Structure 1
Amino acid sequence: MAPTKSQVRAGILAVRRSLSQQTREHETALLGGHLEASVEPGTTVCAYVPVGSEPGSLVLIDRLAARGVTVLLPVAREDGLGTPLPLQWGRHVPGELVDAPFGLREPRPPWLPADTVATAAVVFVPALAVDRQGARLGRGAGYYDRTLPRAAGGALLVAVVRDDELVDRLPSEAHDVRMTHALTPGRGLVPLG
Structure 2
Amino acid sequence: MGELDASKHVLRDSILAVRARLTARDAEETAAVLAERALELPELSEARTVAAYVSVGREPGTKPLLEALRAQGVRVLLPVLLPDNDLDWGVYEGEDRLVRAGRGLLEPDGPRLGPEAVTEADAVLLPGLAVDGTGIRLGRGGGSYDRVLARIGAAGARPALAVLLYDAELLGSVPAEPHDLPVAAAVTPSAVHRFTAPPPHHG
Return the TM-score normalized by structure 1. 0.87
Identity of aligned residues (%): 40
Q: Aligned partners of 2:47 and 2:180: how far apart in 1?
A: 30
| Deviation of the 1:192 alpha carbon | 1.8
Task: Please show how residues 1-193 of structure 1 align to structure 2 within 5 Å.
Answer: 4-38=7-41, 39-40=44-45, 43-79=48-84, 84-85=85-86, 87-94=87-94, 95-151=96-152, 153-188=157-192, 190-192=193-195
Q: How much has 1:109 moved relative to structure 2?
A: 4.2
Post-superposition Cα deviations, 1:59-86, rounded to whole Å, max 9, x if no partner, equal 331221122111000111133xxxx22x
2:189 aligned partner, one-letter code:
P
Q: State whether residues 42 and 68 of structure 1, in contact with CA within 8 Å, keep that contact through their aligned partners in structure 2.
A: no
- CA deviation after TM superposition for structure 1 residue 42, in Å: 6.0
Q: Please tell me whether the aligned partners of residues 27 and 60 of structure 2 are also in contact (alpha carbons under 8 angstroms).
A: yes
Report the AA paired with residue 138 of structure 2.
Answer: L
1:149–1:177 Cα contact (<8 Å) kept: no
User: In structure 1, what is the Cα distance between the partners aligned to 2:157 and 2:134?
Assistant: 18
Q: Which moved more, 1:136-145 or 1:13-22?
A: 13-22
Which one-letter code corresponds to 2:83 in the other structure?
A: E
Conserved? CA contact 2:80–2:107, under 8 Å:
yes
Q: CA deviation at 1:22?
A: 4.1
TM-score by length of 2: 0.83
* Mapped partners of 1:91, 1:122: distance in 2: 15
Deviation at 1:176, TM superposition (A): 2.9
Amino acid at match of 1:40: S
C-alpha RMSD over aligned residues = 2.1
Q: CA deviation at 1:25?
A: 3.1
What is the number of residues matched between the two proteins?
Answer: 187
